[in-house]
């Protein structure tokens, strides 16, 4: 495929900061034919020159994050030499904080990803979410920061994984009318329980697409509209029995639903 626009992301570390900023901006231009080329751990002049030469072959913009003044100067000089548009993502905010703190930054690459207690807590939370996903082991519920309940395709697993990256230990349990509720659910404090639901129309659409992806016929009970209504009614009864808050995930991004969950449960203080 021939791309009309090239977005180069250059970083002296992982490049996640530049990637997220670029994605947020580029999502406003989904009608454009562009490709993103990412270069991380770029810390010397030769590497910069190779990247800029490659960028000069296309209609390009270079977004970069570096705390190394010498490297920043090289990137800017090379971009100017080849007349390539560029944007320095970090320097403006570092300058603001230098004024705010009346101090200079450390200028040490990769400090965002140092192996500190926060990092190991995040790894533990991710491992927890995987271990206690989809009701695999009910014994984990008592150790969870939050327990998500919901019928199939109500975003339990994506939410669990997203929240785990915020250092939150999440277990999730599927609700099926034919399977009695596990006794461990009733032992979870109410403030840790969250019920998830969705619109029947959205569930029908999602389940049909899921079956197609698996190469299965959509003409099965799993995607049957009446069956979906039955499951939703059952879930509502469970939520009322447990007295837990309910979030309708229809037309909500994972990030939005996760933010609501953290607010309801008071876990927003753990946001990283």
3-state DSSP call for residue 73? helix
| Alpha-carbon separation of residue 168 from 29, 261, 266 (angstroms) | 33, 11, 11
66 annotated ligand binder: no
Cα–Cα distance between 131 and 121 in angstroms, integer? 15
Q: Is the dihedral of CA 226, 229, 233, 239 positive or negative?
A: positive
Q: What is the DSSP letter of 243?
A: T
E-only strand ranges, the chain: 5-11, 34-39, 60-65, 85-88, 146-150, 170-174, 193-197, 246-248
DSSP state of 3: -
- The alpha helices in the chain, defined as continuous H runs, are 16-26, 45-55, 69-81, 91-101, 117-131, 156-164, 200-213, 225-242, 254-265
Tell me if 152 is assigned to a ligand binding site: yes
Please report where in the chains the tokens 């970069």 appear, as a residue: 64
Instruction: Tell me if 17 is assigned to a ligand binding site.
Output: no
Q: Is 150 known as a binding-site position?
A: yes
Start-end of H helices in 12-82: 16-26, 45-55, 69-81
3-state secondary structure of 126: helix
Ligand-binding site membership of 217 (annotated):
no
Binding-site residue set: 150-157
Binding-site residue set for ADP: 150-157
């Amino acid at each position: 495929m021939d791309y009309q626009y090239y977005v180069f992301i250059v970083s002296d570390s992982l490049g996640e900061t530049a990637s997220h900023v670029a994605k947020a901006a580029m999502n406003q231009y989904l009608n454009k034919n562009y490709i993103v080329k990412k270069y991380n751990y770029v810390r010397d002049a030769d590497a910069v020159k190779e990247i800029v030469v490659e960028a000069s072959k296309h209609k390009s913009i270079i977004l970069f994050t570096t705390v190394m003044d010498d490297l920043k100067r090289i990137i800017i000089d090379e971009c100017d030499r080849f007349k390539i548009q560029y944007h320095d993502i970090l320097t403006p905010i570092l300058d603001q904080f230098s004024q705010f703190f009346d101090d200079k930054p450390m200028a040490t690459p990769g400090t965002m990803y140092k192996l500190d207690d926060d990092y190991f807590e995040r790894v533990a939370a991710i491992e927890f979410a995987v271990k206690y996903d989809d009701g695999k082991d009910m014994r984990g519920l008592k150790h969870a920061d939050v327990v998500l309940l919901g019928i199939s395709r109500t975003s339990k697993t994506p939410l669990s994984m997203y929240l785990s990256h915020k250092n939150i230990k999440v277990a999730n349990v599927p609700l099926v009318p034919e399977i009695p509720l596990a006794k461990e659910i009733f032992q979870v404090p109410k403030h840790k329980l969250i019920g998830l639901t969705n619109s029947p129309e959205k569930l029908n659409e999602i389940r049909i697409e899921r079956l197609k992806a698996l190469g299965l016929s959509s003409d099965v009970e799993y995607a049957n509209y009446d069956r979906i209504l039955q499951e939703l009614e059952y879930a509502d009864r469970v939520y009322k029995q447990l007295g837990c808050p309910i979030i309708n995930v229809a037309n909500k991004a994972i990030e939005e639903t996760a933010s609501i969950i953290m607010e309801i449960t008071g876990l927003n203080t753990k946001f990283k």
